[in-house]
A and B are shown apart, each in its own frame.
Chain A
Amino acid sequence: MKSITKQKPSDEVKQLLEGFDRVYIVGCGTCTTMTKTGGIEEVAAMKEQLEDLGKLVTGTIVIPTACDEMTETAVKDNEESINNADCILVMTCALGVHRLSLYLDQPVIPALDTLFIGLEDTPGTFQEVCAQCGQCVLGETAGICPITRCHKGLLNGPCGGTNNGKCEVDKERDCAWTLIYRRLEKQGRLDLMRKYQPPKNYQAVLKPKVTRIS
């Protein structure tokens, strides 16, 4: 499982950094290293980019896993150069941005957009397979999530927009319900697709989602 991110356009980063002359850059050694959006190389490239803009980069760090509590230690260990900065530019997913904001008084600015929690299908290709809806239907959909992989999140079968097993939104994208149909057929479990699925219960996990492990 990985948190999938992409870099914000450089113009947007520039605009977010307006008025901040001294910047400290944080990357992450886990997800954004793997997606090449916030690892050692990308942090170094960002440093150069900011220096070209006339900013002073007071320091950089790639924290092993920016979303966990060890980040607090990393912040303490680098207190001096962090305190020298007007803001922190964060090249981790939004979880890392959030984690850092807990320990810092300065503005924490994301350099990335967090897209989804995904699996690597083939090298370099990531796919969202779970929307964390709190009511897993995979037991009845042959392990393929229609809430996530059907553009409309339909529960009772394909819409009329599907064509040749592809989605109306993108001809390259598989229709989730065609995939589900084929796999259930193979398993001899098509009866599951005949079953009426009632409207989803959005109260099952209310936003913002919080849970306590007892």
Chain B
Amino acid sequence: MVSKFKEALNSGKFVVTGEIGPPKGTNIEKMVHHIDILKDIVDGINVTDNQSSVMRFPSVGTCLLIKDHGGEPILQMTCRDRNRLALQAELLFANTRGIGNVLCLTGDAVPVGDHKEAKSVFDLDSVQLLETIRIMESGKDLGGNDLNGAVEYCAGAIVTPEADPIEPQLLKFEKKISAGAEFFQTQAIYDLDNFARFMEYARKFPTKILAGIVLLTSANAARYMTNNVPGVVVPQYLIDEMASAPKEERVKKGIEIAGRMIARIKKEGMCDGVHIMAIGKEEVVPDILAAAGL
């Protein structure tokens, strides 16, 4: 069955996805509230997988909640915590529960997270995970054995348009497409002129690109991202713009900036849509969409 998200990608409309970062603990009240906010206003909701190598409520569990609430989940799977048996088993399970979209990632390194002494797995990498999904769609597993019932996924990956150096990333981007990536959600972008140049290159390939929009919440957060998050560069004029806002209006300013960027991406037809990451402030996603005129 073709997923609703895949239908949206193929419809030619400007696609919007959101993102949920599950909580550390069993109190899922706030997350469910965010799911309810997002489910009817976006085409898909990503669920992060122990993001930043911090142990949390699982991605697949959250995807089931999204299904229960009538939303369209995008299961993020990293290769950090599970070997090829565990990854394939989860792909089998998720598909039987109506989860039809997967985002394949390498996963952050264990030492950046909150279980620094853990063993990292990386039995597969993101390209091999994409390839694995295509093999499982053909009715086989990675061991070459027959599956009693194949999977069917809309599989995607990520790309970092502002990576430095960019060339090795682009080679990997092309490998991901060859391995069957139907869509890409990019790392956060802020300089749309740079992004337009990236899209001149990326447009040549048969895949859909959703630009990553991360809500700015303060000038300090913007500076922190520039200095600490690989491949994220917030231009000085945006940091200044955030700094110009009084404390109580910072989030409002971030919403305005995100809305403005999305509106321009859509107006200029830069790419196929946007992936909005509000990082725990999902309640403002409707405001971002309103600011973007969507």
Contacts and interface: CB of A to CB of B under 8 A. Distances in A.
B164 A163 contact: yes
A143 interface: no
A181 B167 contact: yes
B164 A164 contact: yes
Given A193-B171, A199-B124, A168 B106 contact: no
Contact of B175 (A156, A168, A180, A190): A156
A208 interface: no
Interface string B169-206: 10110110011000000010000000000000000000
A158 B123 CA distance: 15
Contacts of A199: 84, 123-124, 128, 132, 142
A157 B108 contact: no
- Looking at B109, B127, B168, the one whose CB has the most chain A CB atoms below 10 A away is B168
A130 interface: no
A158 B109 contact: no
B187 A181 contact: no
B163 interface: yes
A154 B106 contact: yes
Contacts of A151: 109
Contacts of B124: 199
A157 B175 CA distance: 9
Contact of B128 (A156, A162, A190, A194): A156
Interface residues of A, number: 31
Range class of the B interface residue count: 35 or more
A169 B111 contact: yes
Contact of B160 (A153, A160, A177, A200): A160
A159 B126 CA distance: 9
A165 B187 contact: no
Contacts of B112: 161, 168-169
A178 interface: yes
B165 interface: yes
Contacts of A154: 106, 122, 125
Contact of B122 (A153, A197, A202): A153
B171 A157 contact: yes
B165 A156 contact: no
Interface of A: 151-165, 168-169, 177-178, 180-181, 185, 190, 193-194, 196-200, 202
23 contacts: A152-B107, A153-B122, A155-B125, A156-B126, A157-B127, A157-B168, A158-B168, A158-B169, A158-B172, A160-B105, A160-B158, A160-B163, A160-B187, A160-B230, A161-B108, A163-B230, A165-B164, A178-B168, A181-B165, A181-B167, A194-B174, A196-B131, A199-B124
Interface of B: 80, 84, 105-109, 111-112, 120, 122-128, 131-132, 142, 158, 160, 163-165, 167-169, 171-172, 174-175, 178-179, 187, 230-231
